[in-house]
Amino acid sequence: MKTATASAQQNTDYELSAVPANQRKSFFSLTIVWTGFVFVITSMMAGGGLAAGLNFKDIILATFLGNLFLSAIAILVSVIACKTGLTFALITRYSFGAKGTRLASLFVPIVNLGWYTIQSATYGHFIAQIFDFGPVAEGITMMLSALVMGVFALIGINAITILGYIAIPSIIFLSLATAIKSVGVAGAFSVITEFIPSDPMSIAGGTTVVIGTWILSTATCIADIMRYAKNMKQAALSAIVGLVGGNSLLVICGAIASIAVGNSDLTGVLLTLGLVVPSIILMTTNIFTTNASNIYSTSLNLSNAFHMDRKILISVILVLSALLTLTKPYQIDSLFTFLNVLGVIVPPLAGIILSDFYIVHRGHYAPLDEAALRDWTISPWVTWALSYGIVVLLERMSFGLSSLNGIIAAIVLYPILVKIFKEKQD
């Protein structure tokens, strides 16, 4: 009895089992949660960074290509989540094995901790700029930001949905208003369209940056949301709305604001425009919704890795993140380094998950409690390492797009290695 109660406590958000059909959510509420996740200031900052290297036409092209790529991955992962009802962490059991999954599902929390910390620090830094805080008060504000943002994730998916309903209209309105106001400051829209970047970047490089903005979550965390979808069409459409609609909007608004004001530090840009109160609302809504979903997914993955109550795990992560904000990861250079690393490391993982479901298992997994899973498998790990090597090699040869290279390499290599190691699981 005690054990049953403990395990029920650990499974309040279906972190250890499939979401049943009668608990699936409407298309509208899924789209709110996913779009609230995707709407984030770091996409605007990436747009600002693109403006240092691309002209406006190429920024639009890179944004479009990047989000198209992201949508394709997001749809394929969402379909797996919707069909199985499982979190990303539980999906990895089929490829990484019943014990291997515990190691594999540590990857998402580590990277999410990076995102969570960058975004909490950006928010704390922004508040510190507004109130003209010194370094100590800025440090305290950044730490408090990291602690407070996790509260919604502690409550669960319903709290995140309510937060999204409040946040999304204001984010759409305020990001457009920021772009329009900055065009006003520049004098004419032709200043944006005729702008010549100072430090040219290739379109492939720009596309990789855009892909980097959401590759982690489109390959992983999106499953934690779309497992609640009633059908695959709704899951796919919801994924596209968030990326092609939401992410593109913020990247482009960030680029326009940055070109107009000549500064890629978005928090600085917003303050230069004199939009103090609107910018506080913009920053608060978009960072809170994203970080709540971030830490929610992190806790689901950690539950799978450690088999402990996700609320205890969230608390530990929040304290860790609060301490890490003191390294000041809000600087644009840290963000770009992080994006580039993600654009290379995450796609092979997405390739493994997709290849396992669509190629090795031909689009069907046995229910989790009936599947005969090995404890450990070697093929996904070898695929990941080899794909990473291939990406780095091709990057040195300036061949193609790193994210695409990584995902294709893993999709092709994985089934071959599964055959070689005789590791197909039923």
**Are 216 and 6 contacting, i.e. CB atoms less than 8 angstroms apart?**
no
State the minimum distance, in angstroms, from the CB of residue 43 to ligand URA.
7
| Residue tagged 């998916």 (tokens) | 157
What is the DSSP secondary structure assignment for residue 377, as one 8-state letter?
-
Q: Which of 39, 96, 115, 228 binds ligand URA (CB under 6 A)?
A: 115
Q: Which is nearer to ligand URA, 69 or 214 (CB)?
A: 214
Q: Which is nearer to ligand URA, 252 or 260 (CB)?
A: 252
Site for ligand URA in 7-66 (CB under 6 A): 40, 42
251 binds ligand URA (CB under 6 A): no
Q: Which of 213, 299, 402, 425 binds ligand URA (CB under 6 A)?
A: 213
**Are 236 and 100 contacting, i.e. CB atoms less than 8 angstroms apart?**
no
69 binds ligand URA (CB under 6 A): no
Supply angle C-alpha 72, 226, 174, rounded to 5.
Answer: 80
Site for ligand URA in 279-338 (CB under 6 A): 290, 294
What DSSP assignment string belongs to 268-306?
A: HHHHHTT-HHHHHHHHHHHHHHHHHHHHHHHHHHHHHHH
State the minimum distance, in angstroms, from the CB of residue 64 to ligand URA.
18
Cα(413)–Cα(347) distance, integer angstroms: 13
Q: Which is nearer to ligand URA, 115 or 384 (CB)?
A: 115
CB atoms within 10 A of CB 135: 10
**Are 91 and 17 contacting, i.e. CB atoms less than 8 angstroms apart?**
no
Q: Which is nearer to ligand URA, 264 or 290 (CB)?
A: 290
217 binds ligand URA (CB under 6 A): yes
Cβ-Cβ contacts under 8 Å for 242 (sequence gap 6 or more): 31, 34, 35, 37, 38, 74
| Stretch of residues binding ligand URA (CB under 6 A), selected from 78-86, 163-171, 209-217, 381-389 | 209-217
State the minimum distance, in angstroms, from the CB of residue 328 to ligand URA.
18
- Which residues of the chain form contacts with ligand URA (CB under 6 A)? 40, 42, 115, 119, 213-214, 216-217, 290, 294
